[in-house]
Chain A
């Protein structure tokens, strides 16, 4: 099947998942109760105020994390580079946890202190990992993963320190948030995340040619006309902000950025002109579906979606690692 036909399938699949997910759950929701909400029946409220915003957030966050994974994989030329493995998610978590611990309620340019903290943490993490691989002049899988592991450990220990020194309420908030979840009411959270994911996606779309060339090598990219240093700086900044924005709302939902771009690359190929839209559509649908499973499988108890994606992602990561030199 041609890769453009696959894209149409991805679009239809993503739409179906998006439309079906809010209808699934412990409380049955009929079309009638959605279109004509009855004050006596909570179905309308459940659909409009709880499930639909949650599905929107899951789609936006999934698309954002998948795009971020795709961009990191191209920039590091490595299928194992993702926000999670590079320590960017834990950097964002630390920033957000600092925000929670210090009670940063004040907004900066309309962003909450927690969001700004998460973006700052994400940028710090990517700067450290990228700096380490540049310093060692070594962008191999092992060097990059070790740098990511080191950053993860370091930031995790700082998060533990924060939790240890926090009171019971803040500790619980940080811990619960670290599990990664999409529980919220109303459209505020999706609307807060959308501009960053939208702007990040637009920037990646503008730079698809650059991403293609960077993924085959920086020297080759420069010789074909890519302003390598400037493009990489812009991409690292934008993608880290995008991860920070998602993580500050949903927590560090792991492995979406690893699995989605990889599966899409297997289906539509590595050319970013097709890979980017496929990754957005698949990533969005993937997190919506994962969240739907997470909130229904042990109903009425809802699992945080981060637990579910990590459950899938761990074995996937090992499979990629064991596939041998092709993926390294």
Chain B
């Protein structure tokens, strides 16, 4: 395993006495791609939000390149990890795409919103990379779901961090936009060596992305391993409590899965 970029040790979170995450541990190597998979309500998104300190009050230790995140300010954390939230959510104020992407540079800006010398380049290159330049002057609220998701990715890229966390990045997107988003993220990993953590409940997407998987169920880690090993009835039953059919993909050689029933295989 490469040098750990992110170490999670016994991370637990309870809200109003209810356990949401329990004793989650993982070692994420620099430049690796990880899919956090699990059924709805398994705690996947919550885990990302704990790592980003959007949720506070969790216990355990999280270290970024050996440094405890507890010692980092929110700005310092944002310089190291960029986050793309779940698609959706309305925008109440008519920010343009460029203005929104510019907000990704907040962690580098000074008081009074003063710009950092690297801002202009970072914004342009992020917009180019996410292919959103064509609608840079349009208001965010006027874009389609797929276009908006690319803008959110552009804003995260502008943040200039070497780790990207994405929460269900392709949920609700059509096939073309799913492919585009996957390509942007893949290129970032391959060309820039960025570490990628992506939440998904889509096993096929995780397997096609490759890398490693961390599976959660009821807030606990039930399985960790290479995504290629996910296509196994026992493991999928453990994660989703459902039965699956398996289909061999002649192009990639991967075993893809399709849901079959809601029973746990015995």
Contacts and interface: CB of A to CB of B under 8 A. Distances in A.
A78 B107 contact: no
A213 B99 contact: no
A226 interface: yes
Contact of B96 (A209, A212, A269): A269
A127 interface: no
B102 to A, nearest CB: 8
Nearest to A272: B113
A224 B112 contact: no
Contact of B74 (A209, A216, A217, A225): A225
A79 B94 CA distance: 12
A137 to B, nearest CB: 11
A223 B155 CA distance: 11
Contacts of B90: 325
B107 A225 contact: yes
Interface in B90-140: 90-96, 99-100, 103-104, 106-107, 109, 111-113
A227 interface: yes
A271 B95 contact: yes
Interface stretch (B5-13, B47-55, B59-67): B47-55
Nearest to B78: A225
B106 A216 contact: no
A222 B52 contact: yes
Contact of A78 (B76, B92, B96): B92
Nearest to B96: A269
Contacts of A223: 52, 54, 78, 81-83, 85
Contacts of B253: none
A234 interface: no
A205 B94 CA distance: 20
Interface string B64-86: 00000000011111110111010
Contacts of A206: 111-112
Nearest to B53: A222
Contacts of B106: 209-210, 212-213, 224-226
A267 to B, nearest CB: 12
A215 B90 CA distance: 11
Contacts of B85: 217, 219-220, 223
A216 B54 contact: no
Contact of B109 (A209, A219, A222, A227): A209
A216 B91 contact: yes
A82 to B, nearest CB: 15
A192 interface: no
A224 B53 CA distance: 11
B123 to A, nearest CB: 13
A77 interface: yes
B239 to A, nearest CB: 26
Nearest to B100: A216
A228 B49 CA distance: 14
Interface in A286-328: 325-328
Given A225-B74, A225-B75, A216 B111 contact: no
A78 B91 CA distance: 10
A224 B104 contact: yes
B250 interface: no
A227 B73 contact: yes
Given A205-B112, A223-B54, A224-B78, A216 B93 contact: yes
B227 interface: no
Contacts of A78: 92
Nearest to B86: A219
A124 B118 CA distance: 43
Contacts of A270: 93-95, 99
Contacts of A79: 92-93
A232 interface: no
Contacts of B83: 220, 223
B89 interface: yes
B99 A271 contact: yes
Contacts of A217: 85, 89
A39 to B, nearest CB: 48
Contacts of B93: 74, 77, 79, 215-216, 265, 270
A11 interface: no
A208 interface: yes
Closest 4 CB pairs of A and B: A225-B78, A225-B107, A223-B83, A270-B93
Interface of B: 49, 52-54, 73-79, 81-83, 85, 89-96, 99-100, 103-104, 106-107, 109, 111-113, 141, 155, 159
Interface of A: 74, 77-79, 205-210, 212-213, 215-217, 219-220, 222-228, 265, 269-273, 325-328
7 contacts: A206-B111, A216-B103, A217-B89, A224-B107, A224-B155, A225-B73, A270-B95
Given A269-B95, A269-B96, 5 more contacts: A79-B93, A224-B78, A224-B106, A270-B93, A326-B92
